[in-house]
Structure 1
Amino acid sequence: MSFAKALSPAIREIRILCCQTGAASLGTRQFISANYPVLKQHNPDLPIMIREANGTPARVFARFERGVEKHVEVDNLSSNDVASKVAQLLNLS
């Protein structure tokens, strides 16, 4: 999944939560390393927050217009699976 394009203006914020050392968050950390620079390059004004805390299950939240918030669980997924889930969350697929 490529994130090399501007996202919908309806997306107001993306939050990624994961554990900085846990094996269950490895795919999420790899996704961040591979895709964060591209996402920010194409969406410079979109807040993309990464929150790492010990023992936190990996999840990705998206806040849309009018305060609507959705999330997906990405614990124990590979980097490619995390990218697919995030794309579904952001309606890119």
Structure 2
Amino acid sequence: MRLCCEFVEKNYTDLKTLNPKLPILIRECRGVEPLLWARYDMGVERCVRLDGLTETQINEKLEELAKAGAALKG
């Protein structure tokens, strides 16, 4: 779980710079599994678990959710 916190600390500025209109909500809590949620138009939501993933794998999951959102817009 610590790796997820490190990922956010390291990449937050770049994520906001590249996606200034993207709302990012970060909630820190001990003993809770790290999750990444994406909320798209029409009430569609997707969630991926991040526990045990490397920084590269977390970035891949983020990219997958972004691509899924783009595909929904069709």
Quickly name the TM-score band, shorter chain normalised: 0.7 to 0.9
Post-superposition shift, 1:27? 2.1
1:50 is paired with a residue of what secondary structure? coil
Matching residue's letter, 1:30: E
Correspondence for 2:44: 68
| 5+ residue gaps, structure 1 | 1-24
Within 5 A, what are the aligned runs for 1:14-93? 25-91=1-67
> What's the C-alpha RMSD, in Å, of the aligned pairs?
1.5
Q: Give the count of matched residue pairs.
A: 68
Alignment check: 8 A CA contact 1:60 1:73 kept:
yes
- Give the helix-richer structure, 1 or 2: 2
Alignment check: 8 A CA contact 1:27 1:82 kept:
no
- Give the strand-richer structure, 1 or 2: 1
Identity, in percent, stands at 35
CA–CA distance in structure 1, aligned partners of residues 42 and 6 of structure 2: 31
Q: TM-score, normalised by structure 1?
A: 0.66
| 5+ residue gaps, structure 2 | 69-74
Matching residue's letter, 1:78: T
Q: TM-score, normalised by structure 2?
A: 0.80
CA–CA distance in structure 1, aligned partners of residues 22 and 65 of structure 2: 16
